[in-house]
Structures are given as structure tokens and as C-alpha cells.
Amino acid sequence: MIDSLDKIKGLRVTVMGLGLNGGGLASARFFAKHGAVVTVTDMKSEKDLEESVLQLKEYPSIRFVLGRHDVKDFESADLVIKNPAVKRAGNVYLDAAKHIESDVSVFLRLTDAPILAVTGSKGKSSTVSALQYGLQGMGFRSFLGGNITISPLDFLSETGKDTPVVLELSSWQLADLRGKKLLKPEVAVITPVMPDHQNWYGSMEAYVADKKLLYADQTPEEFCFCNYDDQWGKIFASETAAQVFWYSIKPLPENLCGAWLDKSGEAFFRLHAQAEPLRLLPNEIMVPGSILKENVMNAAAAIFLFVRKQRGSFADTALSDLELAAKLSAVMKTYPGLEHRLEFFYEQGGVRFYNDTTATVPEATAAALDAFTEKPVLICGGTDKKLDFTPIAEAAGKAKEIFLLAGTGTDLLAPLLEKKNIAYRGPFANLDDLLICVKDCVQAGDRVVFSPGATSFGMFQNEFDRGRQFKIKVQQIFTT
């Protein structure tokens, strides 16, 4: 068992699953850097993994076994680092391993940083992103890792008792921690749970059982946020040993403590049953819609409890509860959102711009329109991937104006809009011409949202390239 860095040197470590998203790469780099004898094995070919292999070239001692696994690499290893996406049950390679860990479990064994952990089905990434933003805004030197594609091993050496760490944990990452008693978050947040990964789990019960590991080893000194609006939240609350705080998109009963949104859109937090609620967020923040606001509210409430508990150690001891809530409100209202997901990124002349390029299906564009209280200017369209564009056409009445970017998907959407007598401008062959036209039409108070509802091939490398180009061109065109 690894409980200090000096025990790594000379260990024979097999990293199962190099991948392209951080975990395997970080593990290989971490163990090679600390003197382990590292073998990296992946079923993908060297060509498929070229980008990750190149990043490890500074460690010539690493041995690569790519395009296959060899059971001998598992039998001979002192330690196997498992990729979360690899099933353990019935795996002949893992069955041959003496000891199995993950990058998250190794991190938890070696750090003494306080942990704020988040799991759930929807909203995990925006919640952890808001947590990190809020902690830094409150003056903490904090770190963010986990399922958000940043391995915590990358920043292990920089952590300590005064550096809170935010972890986004998938059900698979939690499953890899089962029985290890390593995860004891100061604050746990479980975002709404709904059917997901049923092709892997086969039942909701099995899926939820892994989610429960987030709070399995918490104590009454720690906190757990549960969703008051669904059945799973109530089950979690009945099981955890931690202090339960609820969250809801509507006011909570006065005998419960937690956070909620009122009809005006303001967020409030009640520290104790029957206590006078504290105002946690104003009715208007940078990110639109009640779903995103709920995630920001949960992050703010988690930070409130964390800071309050740390008084006397490394947190500001001068703030009263009312002052703490007010300071948090001022910080969190400026949270811009997660990149590419209804991301507020720019304002000019009273016009706000939002980048929602990861909306690659029509339903996501319809949801983006629902997120705004006033009709936004919508930019959409792109490449067809055999989808029905009816959801955009049906929601199009919620847009003040519609600008279409050319593509095979737009060719299918335009007739649907015409059938409903909904006017649109375009299609435009490029973003420059489209945005110049938008500039001539918008006025102070408008919200412009780029939510394509389609893929981006042909005009852009991918949806992320599309979002980056949109942000650059908006700032170029609207500042001239």
C-alpha cells in the first residue's frame, strides 16, 4: 500500500488504459517521475494514442504495450492502475493483479487536502466548475480534478491542509474506491440522479449503489447536499451519516436546512431549521436558466459550509454568517459558466453573448432557449447527422431573431421554420458575415446565444473549435 511518495521508487507499476483524456497519462507520468518501473498497456494502437505517447517521451524508461494486453504485465506488477472505464468483474487481466488502484485512490492516499466532492447524473461539471471559481474568488488556492479530465495526480505535490481540492467523480470512479475508505469529503454534493449508463449497469439500483459511495465514509462532522426534488435525494439523505442539507428549485419547508430558489430567481440558504434564511445569490447572475443557477447555488452553499467550518484554521475568521453569504453572493454572481455550455463570455454595448457550441442536437438548442427569461437572439445550424430538427422549429418562437449558419442540417431546419411562418436570416456561409449582420440588428439588453443544434464538420474541426472561433470573432467584430 502506498502511503508516502518514498515508497514508489522501484515499484513495478502497470498502467491499464493510457487513453487521451488525462487519467492514464497522468498516472504513467507520476509513477515514472517518482522512480517506478512503469509499463503502459492499452488495447488501442500506438497510432490512436500518438498524442499521449508523445507526452511521455521525456520518460524513456516507460515500456509500452499497445494494441493488446499481456496477462504477464499484470501478474508481475506490484501495482496496477486501472482506468475507470474498464470493467473489473470477469476481467482476466485484473484478476491476475496483486493490487489495484486508480489515479483518484492514489491521490487520496497521499494528500491531506480537504476535499469537496460531487457526483450525480447531470450538472456535475458545472457544479465543480462553480465550486472552483467560488473558492478562488474567496481567496483560496484550490484545485479541480477528477472526471472533468484533469487527474488529481497532476497537482498532488501542490496540495496541503490549506489547499481545498474539488473532485468531480463519476459512478465508475467511485466504484474504484469501494471498500478503500479513502473518500471522506468535507462537503459532498449529489446532483440530480436519473437513468444513465444502463448499458453498463443493467439497473438503476446498481448505478445508484456506486453513487452512494460518495458519502459512504462521511461522519457527522461533514456535510452532504441532497436533492429535495427527487426520490433518490431522499434515499441518500436517509442513509448518510453526514449532516444533511437539501437543495431545491423551489422554497424548502421551514423545518429543513439547505438552499433553494424563490419565484424571483434569488437563492436563499437556511443554516438551521426555522432559522432566518440568508440571501445567497441575486435574481440575475451571469449564467442563464434555473438549472445552471441551481448548480451555482449548490456550489455557493457548499463553500459557505466549508468556510464556516474552517474558521480558526485557514479561513477568514472575521466574517459573520451574513457577511460571508454577502461576499459569496458577490463572487458567485459573476461565475461565467463552463466553457462551451451556455457560457457567458463577453458583453459589449449592453449586449451579452453566450457560447453553447456543445449543443450538437436539436433538443439542446430548445433547452437553451428555455434558459432565458427574455427572448434571446439565436444563432444555430450546421451539419446534419440524421436528426429531427423539429424541436428547434417548435421552440423557435422563444427567440427574438434567428440567424442560420449554413450546412446540411440547416437545409433541413429552414423548411420547418418556413412552415411555421418563423422568419430567419441566412443561411450564412461563415461566421464573419453572420456576426456582421447580427451587429446591425441587436441593441442594448439583447442576449445572443450560439446554440447550433447540429455538428460542425466542414466549416470547423469540431464543436470546440467552433466555439473558440465564435468567441474570437465576436470580440473582433463587436469591438470595432
Known binding residues for ATP: 120-126
Q: Which grid coordinates belong to 25? A: 497519462
Q: Return the amino acid letter for 152.
A: P
- Which residues are part of a known binding site? 120-126
Integer Rg of the chain from CA: 24
Distance CA 402, CA 394 (A): 13
Distance CA 428, CA 430 (A): 6
Strands ordered across the beta sheet of 425-428: 343-348, 351-355, 447-450, 377-380, 401-405, 425-428
* Mutual angle of helices 231-239 and 204-211, in 10-degree steps: 50
Q: Helices then strands (H, E): number in the chain?
A: 17, 20
Positions of E strands within 381-454 = 401-405, 425-428, 447-450
Q: What share of the chain is helix, strand, coil (3-state, %, to 5)?
A: 35, 20, 45
Distance CA 168, CA 177 (A): 14
Largest Cα span, the chain: 71
One-character DSSP codes across 15-28 = EE---SSSHHHHHH
Distance CA 336, CA 342 (A): 9
Q: How many Cβ atoms sit within 10 Å of the Cβ of residue 194?
A: 12
